[in-house]
Amino acid sequence: MSSDAGSIPAASKIVINDREKLYKLRRGIPKLALAFSLVFLFLNVFSAPQSQPVLRISAQDYDNYSRVTIQSSQPLSSSIEQNDTFVFVKIRANTPFRIQRESFRSRFIKSVGWSQGSGSYTLTIKTEHENFSLDSFKVQNPPRLIIDIHPNKGQDPPIAETNRSGTNPQTADPECIVIDPGHGGLEAGAKGKFGTLEKDLTLAIGMKLAEIVRQTRASNVVLTRDRDVDVSLEDRSAIANNNKATVFISVHVNGSYRKGAAGPETYFLSKDATDEESRRLAFMENNSKELENNIQAEDEDLIKMILWDMAQTAYLKQSSQLAEDIQSELNLLWGTRNRGIKQAPFKVLTGVACPAVLIEVAFLSNPQEERKLLTEEYQRKIAEAIYEGLAKFLRENSH
């Protein structure tokens, strides 16, 4: 029995239907794979910090001694060394720790800092003078290392003067430097001719700067991010304020449509940008959809309020000074003429309650500078230059 010319045999229809199903299935696989990838990424990013061991550091004064407590979520293997006015605590670690240092006020302990080495962490405790003795012991559940610092006879920690209410007046919080590696995660920032991403360079330079500060000043150093993750502009400033930052430094790498644009630029906060290029840069960094008269209308009142508060506490003046000190060091490094510091309405600076600057360390759009930025050596030189400017500012503002 013959079939019509325009008809398709039943067996062929089955084959075609199966092929259509297979084609649809194949088209759906990339979407399904993407969905699974996003779920995996979400779980990885948000669950990793919780599973990472935590090292909590606190200090407290007693009648005749001061105590430092180092608490961990796993057993501690450590060694302690006393040298001059310092106590060095080396903690061996097979996996990276997250460091959490509680704010403290002490008559005898000046600061507690830390640095990370290969398979270990070194906590640096700086004391008021070198005439003291140590006792240490460990406690389990949870694992803790207790270090008691006893001033020797004749060197008792001074009794703080009391106010009329009979309570001790508050002393200054220990120095805290907050370093903010710009961008991260889905926010890649500028991109160089050779494929270099701003977010990778800012993290590398920020980590090196943190290491230098920790090794040199024995102060508390906080990074707004220490890996490739998204951190909102609001969270970056909140991290600074929650840690009672002494200084906030946001590290970025510039990009420009202008051929030949080169060298570093350092900014501090202003409602109005210094020039058109600064205005454009602030727009890109803020990632806004619209920018009317430099910033969105709803942000203008906020910045005015912050600027008023900063003017009362001299943060604007200090931010300008910090920017000047850092820019001078970066000019020496790059061999560039001093174009002066600049101002722009960067959102990341608006909520920070301390001297705060944003540094564009170089132009990623400049191939010559991109090549240098790719080297570990030059990344460290940039970090060292920023530190020298920071150290100069802290010396000039020490009380």
Q: Where residue 221 sits, what CATH number does that domain have?
A: 3.40.630.40
Shared-domain flag, residues 138 and 211: no
Q: Do both 145 and 277 map to the same domain?
A: no
Residue 81 and residue 79: Cα distance in Å, rounded? 7
In a domain, 386, yes or no: yes
User: 139 and 232 share a domain?
Assistant: no
Q: Is residue 26 part of a domain?
A: no
Span 329-357, pLDDT tens digits: 999 998 877 766 777 667 777 778 889 99
Q: Is residue 380 part of a domain?
A: yes
Residues 365 and 273 in one domain: yes
Number of structural domains the chain divides into:
2
**Dihedral-angle region of residue 68 (phi above 0 means left; psi in -120 to 50 means alpha; beta otherwise):** beta
pLDDT at 315 over 60: yes
pLDDT for position 177:
95
HSE of 79, CA atoms in CB hemisphere, 13 A? 3
3-state secondary structure of 214: helix
Is pTM beyond 0.75? Reply is no
Residue 22 lies in a domain: no
Query: 86 in a domain, yes or no?
Result: yes
Higher pLDDT, 167 or 199: 199
> Is a pLDDT exceeding 60 seen at residue 16?
no
Instruction: State whether 140 and 192 are in the same domain.
Output: no
Provide the edge-to-edge strand list for the sheet that holds 132-139: 98-101, 54-61, 66-72, 144-151, 132-139
* Final residue belonging to a domain, choices 135, 151, 167: 151
pLDDT tens per residue across span 223-276: 999 999 999 888 888 888 888 899 999 999 998 878 888 889 998 886 544 444
How many Cβ atoms are within 10 Å of 274's Cβ, its own excluded?
17
Q: Read off the pLDDT of each residue in 166-191 and give the average, rounded to a whole number.
A: 76
The residues that bridge with 376 in the sheet, in sequence order, are none
H helix runs in the chain, sequence order: 10-51, 198-217, 233-242, 276-286, 297-313, 315-334, 347-350, 367-373, 376-396
Name the nearest CA neighbour of 330 among 216, 253, 247.
253
pLDDT at residue number 339: 65
pLDDT tens digit sequence for 46-102: 444 446 778 888 888 887 888 888 888 778 788 898 888 888 888 887 777 777 777
Report the range of poorest mean pLDDT among 4-13, 211-220, 221-230: 4-13
Tell me, what's the pLDDT at 181?
96
Which pLDDT score is estimated for 281?
Answer: 47
182 lies in the same domain as 250? yes
Q: Is residue 169 part of a domain?
A: no
Pairing of β 144-151 and β 66-72:
antiparallel
- 105 within domain boundaries: yes
Residue with tokens 């290392």: 145
- Give 126's strand partners: 86, 111
Question: Which residue segment(s) compose the domain that 371 sits in?
Answer: 176-396
The more confidently predicted of residues 124 and 328 is 328
Q: How confident is the model at residue 38 (pLDDT cuts 50, 70, 90)?
A: low
Task: Based on the fold, state whether residues 193 and 269 are members of the same structural domain.
Answer: yes
Task: Answer whether 299's CB lies under 8 Å from 344's CB.
Answer: no
pLDDT-based confidence at residue 13 (cuts at 50, 70, 90): very low
Domain boundary among 100, 116, 151: 151
**Could you say which of 151, 166, 199 is where a domain stops?**
151
CATH number at residue 77: 2.60.40.3500
pLDDT of amino acid 1? 44
Residues 239, 319, single domain; the answer is yes
Q: What type of residue is 89?
A: V
DSSP string, 258-273: STT--S-EEEEE-SS-
Is pLDDT above 70 for 285? no
Q: How far apart are CA 220 and CA 96, in angstroms?
A: 18
**Are 226 and 144 in the same domain?**
no
Q: Is 369 in the same domain as 234?
A: yes
Cβ count within 10 A of residue 99: 18
Average pLDDT over residues 175-190: 93
How confident is the model over 127-158, as pLDDT tens digits?
888 888 888 888 877 888 889 888 886 554 44
> Residue 324: which pLDDT band, with cuts at 50, 70 and 90?
very high
User: Are residues 126 and 194 part of one domain?
Assistant: no
Residues 217 and 342 placed together within one structural domain of the fold: yes
Q: Is residue 37 part of a domain?
A: no
Q: Which of these, 343, 338, 209, lies nearest to 263 by C-alpha position?
A: 338
Across all residues in the chain, what is the average pLDDT? 75
> Is residue 307 scored above 70 in pLDDT?
no
Mean pLDDT to the nearest integer, 280-306: 46
pLDDT classification of 27: cutoffs 50, 70, 90 = low
In the chain, % of residues over pLDDT 70: 68
Give the type of residue at 293: N
CA distance 100 to 79: 20
